Amino acid sequence: RQRRLRGIAHRPTHTRDGVSVSLQANLELPEDVEIARGNGAAGVGLYRTEFLYMSRADLPDEEEHLATYTAMIEDLDGIPITIRTLDLGVDKRADGLTACGSAACNPALGLRAIRLCLKEPALFRPQLRAILRASAVGPVRLMLPLVTNVEELDTVLALIEELKHQLHQQGLPYDDALPVGAMIEVPAAALSARAIAKRMDFLSIGTNDLVQYTLAVDRLDDSVNYLFDPMHPAILRLIRMTIEAANSADIPVSMCGEMAGDTQFTRLLLGMGLRELSMQPGALLDVKELILQADTQDLRRRVAQLFTHLDETSPARLLDALNQA
Ligand code: PEP
Ligand code: MG
Protein backbone atom coordinates (compact mmCIF):
# COMPACT_ATOMS: atom_id res chain seq x y z
CA ARG A 1 0.00 0.00 0.00
CA GLN A 2 2.81 2.43 0.88
CA ARG A 3 4.38 1.81 -2.49
CA ARG A 4 1.08 2.41 -4.26
CA LEU A 5 0.59 5.65 -2.34
CA ARG A 6 4.08 6.83 -3.20
CA GLY A 7 3.22 6.18 -6.82
CA ILE A 8 0.40 8.74 -6.79
CA ALA A 9 2.37 11.49 -5.00
CA HIS A 10 3.24 13.45 -8.11
CA ARG A 11 0.20 12.69 -10.22
CA PRO A 12 -2.25 15.56 -10.75
CA THR A 13 -5.07 15.48 -8.20
CA HIS A 14 -8.42 15.19 -9.89
CA THR A 15 -11.53 13.17 -9.30
CA ARG A 16 -12.88 10.48 -11.65
CA ASP A 17 -15.18 13.08 -13.18
CA GLY A 18 -12.22 15.36 -13.87
CA VAL A 19 -12.59 17.95 -11.10
CA SER A 20 -9.24 19.12 -9.88
CA VAL A 21 -8.57 19.46 -6.18
CA SER A 22 -5.70 21.32 -4.58
CA LEU A 23 -4.10 19.32 -1.79
CA GLN A 24 -1.90 21.48 0.36
CA ALA A 25 0.22 21.10 3.45
CA ASN A 26 0.09 22.60 6.93
CA LEU A 27 3.59 23.38 8.18
CA GLU A 28 4.52 24.00 11.78
CA LEU A 29 8.29 23.97 11.38
CA PRO A 30 10.50 24.71 8.38
CA GLU A 31 11.67 21.06 8.39
CA ASP A 32 8.14 19.86 7.62
CA VAL A 33 8.50 21.10 4.07
CA GLU A 34 10.43 18.00 3.00
CA ILE A 35 7.56 15.57 3.64
CA ALA A 36 5.15 18.04 2.06
CA ARG A 37 7.16 18.19 -1.15
CA GLY A 38 7.79 14.44 -1.15
CA ASN A 39 4.05 13.88 -0.93
CA GLY A 40 3.37 16.24 -3.81
CA ALA A 41 1.72 19.14 -1.95
CA ALA A 42 0.35 21.71 -4.41
CA GLY A 43 1.00 24.48 -1.91
CA VAL A 44 1.24 25.34 1.75
CA GLY A 45 -2.28 26.18 2.89
CA LEU A 46 -1.22 27.02 6.43
CA TYR A 47 2.24 28.05 7.57
CA ARG A 48 1.99 28.38 11.35
CA THR A 49 4.47 31.05 12.41
CA GLU A 50 4.26 30.54 16.18
CA PHE A 51 7.49 28.49 16.20
CA LEU A 52 9.36 31.77 15.62
CA TYR A 53 8.23 32.96 19.04
CA MET A 54 8.40 29.79 21.10
CA SER A 55 11.16 28.58 23.45
CA ARG A 56 12.98 31.91 23.57
CA ALA A 57 13.00 34.98 25.78
CA ASP A 58 13.11 37.66 23.07
CA LEU A 59 10.97 38.34 20.00
CA PRO A 60 11.86 37.87 16.33
CA ASP A 61 12.43 41.11 14.39
CA GLU A 62 11.41 41.90 10.82
CA GLU A 63 14.67 40.64 9.34
CA GLU A 64 14.38 37.30 11.11
CA HIS A 65 10.80 36.89 9.87
CA LEU A 66 11.87 37.80 6.36
CA ALA A 67 14.87 35.45 6.34
CA THR A 68 12.68 32.57 7.57
CA TYR A 69 9.95 33.19 4.98
CA THR A 70 12.44 33.71 2.16
CA ALA A 71 14.19 30.43 2.93
CA MET A 72 10.84 28.64 2.94
CA ILE A 73 9.71 30.24 -0.33
CA GLU A 74 12.96 29.17 -1.95
CA ASP A 75 12.55 25.61 -0.64
CA LEU A 76 9.05 25.55 -2.12
CA ASP A 77 10.35 26.37 -5.56
CA GLY A 78 7.34 28.23 -6.95
CA ILE A 79 4.61 26.44 -4.97
CA PRO A 80 2.39 29.04 -3.24
CA ILE A 81 2.49 29.52 0.52
CA THR A 82 -0.15 30.90 2.88
CA ILE A 83 1.58 32.53 5.83
CA ARG A 84 -0.64 32.88 8.87
CA THR A 85 0.04 35.80 11.16
CA LEU A 86 0.84 35.11 14.77
CA ASP A 87 -1.73 32.89 16.46
CA LEU A 88 -0.40 32.79 20.00
CA GLY A 89 -2.81 31.65 22.67
CA VAL A 90 -3.11 29.16 25.44
CA ASP A 91 -2.47 26.29 23.00
CA LYS A 92 0.62 27.98 21.49
CA ARG A 93 2.60 29.92 24.08
CA ALA A 94 5.58 32.24 23.70
CA ASP A 95 8.03 32.79 26.53
CA GLY A 96 8.83 36.31 25.35
CA LEU A 97 5.24 37.49 25.76
CA THR A 98 3.16 37.67 28.88
CA ALA A 99 0.03 39.04 27.21
CA CYS A 100 -1.26 35.64 26.13
CA GLY A 101 -4.26 35.51 28.34
CA SER A 102 -2.64 32.86 30.49
CA ALA A 103 -3.83 34.55 33.68
CA ALA A 104 -7.42 34.78 32.52
CA CYS A 105 -10.12 32.31 33.54
CA ASN A 106 -10.93 31.51 29.91
CA PRO A 107 -7.67 31.99 28.02
CA ALA A 108 -9.11 30.54 24.80
CA LEU A 109 -11.59 33.43 24.86
CA GLY A 110 -8.95 35.99 25.78
CA LEU A 111 -6.34 38.19 24.20
CA ARG A 112 -4.87 35.88 21.59
CA ALA A 113 -4.12 35.64 17.86
CA ILE A 114 -5.37 38.62 15.83
CA ARG A 115 -6.64 40.32 18.99
CA LEU A 116 -3.20 40.29 20.56
CA CYS A 117 -1.62 41.47 17.29
CA LEU A 118 -4.00 44.42 16.96
CA LYS A 119 -3.44 45.37 20.59
CA GLU A 120 0.36 45.25 20.23
CA PRO A 121 1.35 46.92 16.95
CA ALA A 122 5.02 46.54 17.88
CA LEU A 123 4.45 42.81 17.68
CA PHE A 124 2.32 42.82 14.53
CA ARG A 125 4.01 45.39 12.28
CA PRO A 126 7.36 43.63 11.85
CA GLN A 127 5.59 40.42 10.85
CA LEU A 128 3.27 42.17 8.38
CA ARG A 129 6.17 44.07 6.83
CA ALA A 130 8.16 40.85 6.52
CA ILE A 131 5.24 39.01 4.88
CA LEU A 132 4.80 41.91 2.45
CA ARG A 133 8.49 41.86 1.62
CA ALA A 134 8.43 38.07 1.24
CA SER A 135 5.64 38.46 -1.33
CA ALA A 136 8.23 39.95 -3.68
CA VAL A 137 10.23 36.70 -3.50
CA GLY A 138 7.52 34.20 -4.52
CA PRO A 139 3.79 33.45 -4.42
CA VAL A 140 2.55 34.32 -0.92
CA ARG A 141 -0.85 34.74 0.68
CA LEU A 142 -1.41 36.32 4.09
CA MET A 143 -3.92 34.74 6.46
CA LEU A 144 -5.46 36.12 9.65
CA PRO A 145 -6.40 33.80 12.54
CA LEU A 146 -9.35 33.98 14.93
CA VAL A 147 -11.22 36.77 13.22
CA THR A 148 -14.56 37.53 14.90
CA ASN A 149 -15.78 40.72 13.22
CA VAL A 150 -15.23 42.86 10.14
CA GLU A 151 -13.78 45.77 12.11
CA GLU A 152 -10.72 43.64 12.79
CA LEU A 153 -10.36 43.08 9.07
CA ASP A 154 -10.78 46.75 8.23
CA THR A 155 -8.11 47.64 10.78
CA VAL A 156 -5.67 45.08 9.38
CA LEU A 157 -6.34 46.13 5.79
CA ALA A 158 -5.68 49.77 6.68
CA LEU A 159 -2.49 48.77 8.45
CA ILE A 160 -1.33 46.78 5.43
CA GLU A 161 -1.96 49.81 3.19
CA GLU A 162 0.08 51.97 5.54
CA LEU A 163 2.94 49.47 5.57
CA LYS A 164 2.89 49.16 1.79
CA HIS A 165 3.25 52.91 1.57
CA GLN A 166 6.13 52.80 4.01
CA LEU A 167 7.90 50.04 2.08
CA HIS A 168 7.39 51.93 -1.15
CA GLN A 169 8.98 55.04 0.37
CA GLN A 170 11.92 52.95 1.53
CA GLY A 171 12.34 51.41 -1.91
CA LEU A 172 11.65 47.90 -0.58
CA PRO A 173 9.79 45.55 -2.96
CA TYR A 174 6.46 43.79 -2.24
CA ASP A 175 3.58 42.37 -4.24
CA ASP A 176 0.85 45.00 -4.33
CA ALA A 177 -1.69 42.24 -5.08
CA LEU A 178 -0.75 40.10 -2.06
CA PRO A 179 -3.95 38.15 -1.29
CA VAL A 180 -5.22 38.63 2.26
CA GLY A 181 -7.59 36.05 3.73
CA ALA A 182 -9.33 35.18 6.97
CA MET A 183 -9.58 31.97 8.88
CA ILE A 184 -13.13 31.04 9.70
CA GLU A 185 -12.74 29.38 13.07
CA VAL A 186 -15.16 31.21 15.35
CA PRO A 187 -18.91 30.62 14.96
CA ALA A 188 -19.50 34.38 14.66
CA ALA A 189 -17.16 34.47 11.68
CA ALA A 190 -18.94 31.60 9.94
CA LEU A 191 -22.29 33.31 10.58
CA SER A 192 -20.84 36.56 9.17
CA ALA A 193 -18.97 34.86 6.35
CA ARG A 194 -20.69 36.93 3.67
CA ALA A 195 -19.50 40.21 5.13
CA ILE A 196 -16.03 38.78 5.69
CA ALA A 197 -15.88 37.37 2.15
CA LYS A 198 -16.64 40.83 0.74
CA ARG A 199 -13.45 42.19 2.28
CA MET A 200 -11.12 39.23 1.84
CA ASP A 201 -9.39 37.53 -1.09
CA PHE A 202 -9.93 34.03 0.33
CA LEU A 203 -11.33 32.14 3.32
CA SER A 204 -9.94 29.12 5.12
CA ILE A 205 -11.96 27.06 7.57
CA GLY A 206 -10.13 26.18 10.78
CA THR A 207 -12.17 23.32 12.15
CA ASN A 208 -10.02 22.77 15.25
CA ASP A 209 -11.09 26.05 16.76
CA LEU A 210 -14.48 26.12 15.02
CA VAL A 211 -15.39 22.90 16.82
CA GLN A 212 -13.93 24.13 20.10
CA TYR A 213 -15.87 27.39 20.07
CA THR A 214 -19.12 26.13 18.57
CA LEU A 215 -19.46 23.12 20.83
CA ALA A 216 -17.91 24.80 23.88
CA VAL A 217 -15.34 22.01 24.11
CA ASP A 218 -11.84 22.93 25.21
CA ARG A 219 -9.56 21.41 22.56
CA LEU A 220 -6.84 20.85 25.19
CA ASP A 221 -9.05 19.17 27.78
CA ASP A 222 -9.04 15.38 27.48
CA SER A 223 -11.97 15.01 29.84
CA VAL A 224 -14.31 16.49 27.21
CA ASN A 225 -12.69 15.27 24.01
CA TYR A 226 -15.53 12.77 23.48
CA LEU A 227 -17.65 15.83 22.65
CA PHE A 228 -15.20 17.13 20.04
CA ASP A 229 -17.20 16.22 16.95
CA PRO A 230 -16.71 17.75 13.48
CA MET A 231 -19.86 15.88 12.38
CA HIS A 232 -22.10 17.79 14.79
CA PRO A 233 -24.90 19.24 12.62
CA ALA A 234 -24.05 22.74 13.86
CA ILE A 235 -20.50 22.40 12.56
CA LEU A 236 -21.62 21.04 9.20
CA ARG A 237 -24.03 23.94 8.80
CA LEU A 238 -21.36 26.52 9.64
CA ILE A 239 -18.98 24.93 7.15
CA ARG A 240 -21.69 24.95 4.51
CA MET A 241 -22.48 28.62 5.16
CA THR A 242 -18.82 29.51 4.79
CA ILE A 243 -18.48 27.67 1.49
CA GLU A 244 -21.63 29.34 0.16
CA ALA A 245 -20.42 32.79 1.24
CA ALA A 246 -17.09 32.30 -0.53
CA ASN A 247 -18.82 30.99 -3.65
CA SER A 248 -21.19 33.97 -3.76
CA ALA A 249 -18.28 36.37 -3.39
CA ASP A 250 -16.38 34.39 -6.00
CA ILE A 251 -13.32 33.92 -3.81
CA PRO A 252 -11.49 30.66 -3.00
CA VAL A 253 -12.29 28.76 0.18
CA SER A 254 -10.19 26.05 1.73
CA MET A 255 -10.17 24.03 4.91
CA CYS A 256 -7.02 23.78 7.01
CA GLY A 257 -8.26 22.24 10.28
CA GLU A 258 -7.60 18.57 11.12
CA MET A 259 -10.91 17.62 9.53
CA ALA A 260 -9.38 18.31 6.10
CA GLY A 261 -6.77 15.57 6.56
CA ASP A 262 -9.06 12.95 8.04
CA THR A 263 -10.04 10.44 5.34
CA GLN A 264 -13.42 9.71 6.90
CA PHE A 265 -14.46 13.24 5.89
CA THR A 266 -12.92 13.44 2.40
CA ARG A 267 -16.05 12.39 0.49
CA LEU A 268 -18.23 14.62 2.65
CA LEU A 269 -16.03 17.69 2.06
CA LEU A 270 -15.90 17.08 -1.69
CA GLY A 271 -19.67 16.72 -1.72
CA MET A 272 -19.99 19.99 0.17
CA GLY A 273 -18.02 21.65 -2.60
CA LEU A 274 -14.55 22.10 -1.13
CA ARG A 275 -11.78 21.96 -3.74
CA GLU A 276 -8.85 23.04 -1.60
CA LEU A 277 -7.76 21.10 1.48
CA SER A 278 -4.71 21.72 3.62
CA MET A 279 -3.47 19.12 6.09
CA GLN A 280 -0.50 17.77 7.96
CA PRO A 281 1.84 16.56 5.22
CA GLY A 282 1.69 12.92 6.35
CA ALA A 283 -2.02 12.75 5.46
CA LEU A 284 -1.74 14.00 1.86
CA LEU A 285 -1.49 10.68 0.07
CA ASP A 286 -4.30 8.92 1.95
CA VAL A 287 -6.64 11.79 1.12
CA LYS A 288 -5.43 11.91 -2.47
CA GLU A 289 -6.14 8.23 -2.97
CA LEU A 290 -9.79 8.83 -2.09
CA ILE A 291 -10.05 11.91 -4.29
CA LEU A 292 -8.76 10.03 -7.32
CA GLN A 293 -11.64 7.55 -6.86
CA ALA A 294 -14.35 10.11 -6.15
CA ASP A 295 -17.16 11.35 -8.37
CA THR A 296 -18.10 14.89 -7.32
CA GLN A 297 -21.47 14.90 -9.08
CA ASP A 298 -22.56 11.80 -7.23
CA LEU A 299 -21.15 13.12 -3.93
CA ARG A 300 -22.85 16.49 -4.34
CA ARG A 301 -26.20 14.81 -4.72
CA ARG A 302 -25.64 12.45 -1.81
CA VAL A 303 -24.35 15.14 0.53
CA ALA A 304 -27.35 17.35 -0.29
CA GLN A 305 -29.49 14.34 0.76
CA LEU A 306 -27.42 13.90 3.90
CA PHE A 307 -28.14 17.48 4.91
CA THR A 308 -31.87 16.93 4.66
CA HIS A 309 -31.59 14.10 7.23
CA LEU A 310 -29.27 15.89 9.62
CA ASP A 311 -31.80 16.36 12.36
CA GLU A 312 -33.34 12.86 12.28
CA THR A 313 -30.45 10.48 11.84
CA SER A 314 -27.19 10.34 13.74
CA PRO A 315 -24.50 12.14 11.73
CA ALA A 316 -22.14 9.20 12.30
CA ARG A 317 -24.65 6.89 10.58
CA LEU A 318 -25.07 9.34 7.71
CA LEU A 319 -21.31 9.53 7.29
CA ASP A 320 -20.98 5.73 7.28
CA ALA A 321 -23.60 5.49 4.57
CA LEU A 322 -21.84 8.13 2.49
CA ASN A 323 -18.51 6.37 2.81
CA GLN A 324 -19.82 2.91 2.07
CA ALA A 325 -20.71 3.04 -1.59
C1 PEP B 1 -7.78 25.44 13.34
O2 PEP B 1 -8.12 26.04 14.36
O3 PEP B 1 -8.49 24.59 12.75
C4 PEP B 1 -6.45 25.67 12.75
C5 PEP B 1 -6.11 25.15 11.58
O6 PEP B 1 -5.58 26.45 13.45
P7 PEP B 1 -4.78 25.94 14.73
O8 PEP B 1 -4.95 24.46 14.85
O9 PEP B 1 -3.36 26.34 14.49
O10 PEP B 1 -5.43 26.72 15.84
MG1 MG C 1 -7.08 27.80 15.02
User: Where does ligand 1 bind, in terms of residues with CB under 6 Å?
Assistant: 46, 48, 87, 185, 206-209, 256-257
Q: Among 52, 204, 205, 208, which residue has the most ligand 1 atoms within 8 Å of its CB, making it the best to mutate?
A: 208
Q: Ligand 1, residue 212: give the atom nearest the CA.
A: 2
Compute CA distances 127 → 46, 111, 183, 208, whole Å. Answer: 16, 18, 17, 24
Question: What is the 16 CA–ligand 1 centroid distance (Å)?
Answer: 30
Residue 90 reports pLDDT greater than 90: no
Residue range 126-139, pLDDT digits in tens: 999 999 999 999 99
Residue range 6-29, pLDDT digits in tens: 999 999 999 999 999 999 999 999
Backbone angles phi, psi at 218, to 5 degrees: -60, 120
Q: For residue 198, give the nearest of 150, 152, 144 by alpha carbon.
A: 150
Q: What is the mean pLDDT of residues 280-306?
A: 98
User: Is 221 marked within a binding site?
Assistant: no
- Residue 97: the pLDDT is 72
Residue 168 reports pLDDT greater than 80: yes
**Share above pLDDT 70 across residues of the chain, in percent, rounded to a whole number:** 98
Overall pTM > 0.95:
yes
Residue range 224-245, pLDDT digits in tens: 999 999 999 999 999 999 999 9
- Residue 210: the pLDDT is 98
The contacts of residue 17 (CB under 8 Å, 6+ apart) are 295, 296, 297
Q: Is 117 a catalytic residue?
A: no
Residue range 195-228, pLDDT digits in tens: 999 999 999 999 999 999 999 999 999 999 999 9
What DSSP string runs through 240-306?
Answer: HHHHHHHHHHT--EEE-SGGGG-GGGHHHHHHTT--EEEE-GGGHHHHHHHHHH--HHHHHHHHHHH
Lowest mean pLDDT among 138-147, 230-239, 261-270, 316-325: 316-325
Give, using CA atoms, the residue closest to atom 6 of ligand 1: 206
- Residue 89: the pLDDT is 82
Q: Ligand 1, residue 259: give the atom nearest the CA.
A: 3
- The Cα 42–Cα 285 span in angstroms is 12
58, β-bridge pairs: none
Q: Is 298 exposed, middle or buried (CB count within 10 Å of its CB: 0-12, 13-18, 19+)?
A: middle
- Residue 103: the pLDDT is 60
Compute the mean pLDDT over every residue in the chain, rounded to the nearest whole number. 95
Residue 33 reports pLDDT greater than 70: yes
Residue 272 reports pLDDT greater than 90: yes
Lowest mean pLDDT among 91-95, 144-148, 294-298: 91-95
Question: What is the 276 CA–ligand 1 centroid distance (Å)?
Answer: 16
**8 A C-beta contact, residue 198 and residue 248:** no
Residue range 48-88, pLDDT digits in tens: 999 999 989 999 999 999 999 999 999 999 999 999 999 98
